[in-house]
Amino acid sequence: MKIVVSLIIVAFTVSAFGQTLNFNMGRPFSEFRKLELDLHSQFRATTSEHMLAADMAQPIKYLRISDKFDPKPVVGYFFKASDSTVQEISYEWDKQNFRERNYQMTDKDVETEESLNRFVAKYNELKNEIRILLGDSKSEGSLEPKTGLNYLHVDMRDSWENDSISVLMYISFSNKYEARGNVTITPTHRIRVYVKAKRDIHVDPSDQLKAVFKADEMQQKVAEKYIALVLSKKFKESWELISPDVKSKATFEAYLKVLEQVDGFRGDFKDKTELALSGPAFFNNEVYYTYSFKFNADTNSPPSVLLDVTFKVGESLITGFRPKKLDAKLN
């Protein structure tokens, strides 16, 4: 039963913090900085200058240490110097990012077929996430290893665009090492994604988030009611707000085990809560929307405790609940 609980109620509840890619160009960089702080990402100093268009500042980069994939992604934000609105975001899962700057690669710097399979699975995961928002891509190459070579080699790229953004993603995974005179070809193992505004975009920070999916007023009211019921220990009433699909896979007793975590996390915080943030999340090729609540008395930044309530887009019953404790205190 513990397995059922973790799969249905906890692990499948992907919060807005867990969203891998962001497509909201034109937002102030301060919003993205807050997102990275909430993810406990580490600031990463740039080691070289980028050739950029006029009025574009040098990027600010973060290492997302919370990401479970190895290598962990480095995320770069490119914004206008005049108003700090982000016009491009880069995402890199690249082994080279974790080597010393003057490291000399050799024919020993190769990866296994198991590593290739992990990279391909990650590529497909990202592709599905983008496809949900932007539809099918234009593809070149293949995720199947090239035949007739004595080393592993995969190259593929996908691209998308709509009226406001373009997205390019590619995987380059090769164990080829060849030294010919002054030219040396070295192994490469990376996935990169570039999200770019097709024109200068500025979104007024006072506007509501102009994402493909927006918060649903009915869902938010249901989420607020659900949190109030859970905190007042009216568990049977809260169970009535859970989706039938979840109920078919988890018993009420299993559900109660998840709710037991709330008291352990909340400490001395009283029952009053407020919405801290909300946003779309992706899981198994479907889109969900998560509402994250904090306790009013919690003045930490990020909040020390969040209560995530998740719905499928367009539905009014809850498909996931996760109490979450954030240990880091970031000011």
pLDDT at 9 over 90: no
For the entire predicted model, the pTM comes to 0.59
pLDDT at 320 over 60: yes
Where residue 283 falls among pLDDT bands split at 50, 70, 90?
Answer: low
pLDDT at 176: 92
Q: What DSSP line would sit under 176-201, residue for residue?
A: --EEETTEEE--EEEEEEEEEESS--
Distance between CA atoms of 12 and 242, rounded to whole angstroms?
14
pLDDT at 204 over 60: no
Q: How many CB atoms lie within 10 A of CB 70?
A: 11
Nearest to 23 by CA among 88, 93, 73: 88
Domains and CATH numbers, the chain: 24-197 (no CATH), 217-323 (3.10.450.590)
Beta carbons of 219 and 311 less than 8 angstroms apart: yes
Nearest to 294 by CA among 321, 276, 267: 276
pLDDT at 134 over 50: yes
pLDDT at 123: 96
Residues 6+ apart with CB under 8 A from 154: 116, 119, 120, 141, 142, 143, 144, 145, 146, 171, 172, 173, 174
Cα-only R_g, the chain: 22
pLDDT at 70: 93
pLDDT at 214: 58
Please tell me the total number of residues recorded for the chain in this structure.
331
Where residue 160 falls among pLDDT bands split at 50, 70, 90?
Answer: very high
pLDDT at 211 over 80: no
Q: 165-174 and 188-197 as β-strands: parallel, antiparallel, unpaired? A: antiparallel
Q: Which residue's entry shows tokens 């400490």?
A: 267
Instruction: Give the amino acid at 316.
Output: S
Distance between CA atoms of 161 and 134, rounded to whole angstroms?
7
Where residue 282 falls among pLDDT bands split at 50, 70, 90?
Answer: low
